[in-house]
Structure 1
């Protein structure tokens, strides 16, 4: 039986899209990526994405939405597994993927914080979360050691934000987490993570952040 063609409905800046792209590349699965404008969502997209969010994976004429579900579908149907074999370890990895989503929520709070007090609170929350990660990281280079996993696919896009945030003073959330810093550096050089965004991603992200009515935007514009 032939596999239906895969189309990934995407947005150039979406970190959840990047998860799926990284997994597809790591699995060496061919797919077509279709970017849309989330500010002007086309009707055909709203018809297949009940929550109006990217990514959506089209498997032939059937749609799978929500990045965590897409990752699990790819694990069940495609080669080169990125989850551990052991069921308990696999469950632990799924939990840390959810932890990654909580970090993304803090990052959104960071770039939307209206004032410096709100910005500082989100930086404190991020620092605390990365300190929790520091305690569970293996010797590296990846989350669980030498094997690249879906947790790494989730955290590559998270760390990518900080390539822009590092331009600003006072964003030292990794100062006390040497293992996290080393993990970030290893993921920065992973081919699949680099390929998950376009060459102008940094410029696009900076413009997106600077346009927001936030304390972070004021720093970027200064």
Structure 2
């Protein structure tokens, strides 16, 4: 068993990717949560870019999500490989894992849009990203590469977790007309490694985070909370 410590803030979707991978590999990792608005000195010394996730392996710190996941894959040879066997298939999966990273940035733009018109533009852009994913899922399944759960799935699962919070506010039609993506979302949510990748109160913490962003969605969160209290 490796001496892994996964360092993050409590909400980071990129960290969830590594946490899911470690769970799929049967590897335990200590989880350390920090406040990115008040980074501890020890974290600043370890992380050259000041970003999470950070994987500490003994006295060595590994940073950047893709690098962390590649290290975990190489360090656990013989345990449930999460990239395909063929080189071209691996390249395709790596590319779509990077696509997932771009979608996370789009999700950020969606919930940070300051007013309704910008919000609608971001919503449309994000829905378009999911439409591109739909084209890759049609006829496959239940996972991105077929029957075997892989790192592309670990990359998309945290995105769909964010959609669970958005669904509490309204139907934003992000997956409208995308049956394969909707089915994929629900399949990933059932995976034990995905469910265990976050703290139990993740949804409530994310809602509080959204409420404090000063964005159009922040006002929707406030309205939802007011309607619950009424």
Compute the TM-score of the two structures, normalised by the length of structure 1. Answer: 0.96
The alignment yields a C-alpha RMSD, in angstroms, of: 1.0
1:170-208 superposed Cα distances (whole Å, 9 cap, x missing partner): 511101100000000001110000000011000000000
| Residue segments in structure 2 that go unaligned for 5+ positions in a row | 224-230
Map 1:23-102 → 2, pairs under 5 A: 23-78=21-76, 79-102=79-102
Give, in whole Å, the separation in 2 of the partners of 1:4 and 1:149.
21
Q: How far is 1:4 from its partner?
A: 5.2
Give, in whole Å, the separation in 2 of the partners of 1:177 and 1:132.
10
Q: How far is 1:30 from its partner?
A: 2.0
Q: Which moved more, 1:209-218 or 1:29-38?
A: 29-38
Size of the aligned set, in residue pairs, is 220
Give, in whole Å, the separation in 2 of the partners of 1:42 and 1:122.
34
Distance 1:214 1:177, change over 3 A: same
The residue aligned with 1:218 is 219
Structure 1 residue runs of 4+, over 6 Å off? none
| Residue segments in structure 1 that go unaligned for 5+ positions in a row | none
CA contact (8 A) 2:109 2:122 kept: yes
Q: Aligned with 2:37: secondary structure?
A: helix
The residue aligned with 1:173 is 174
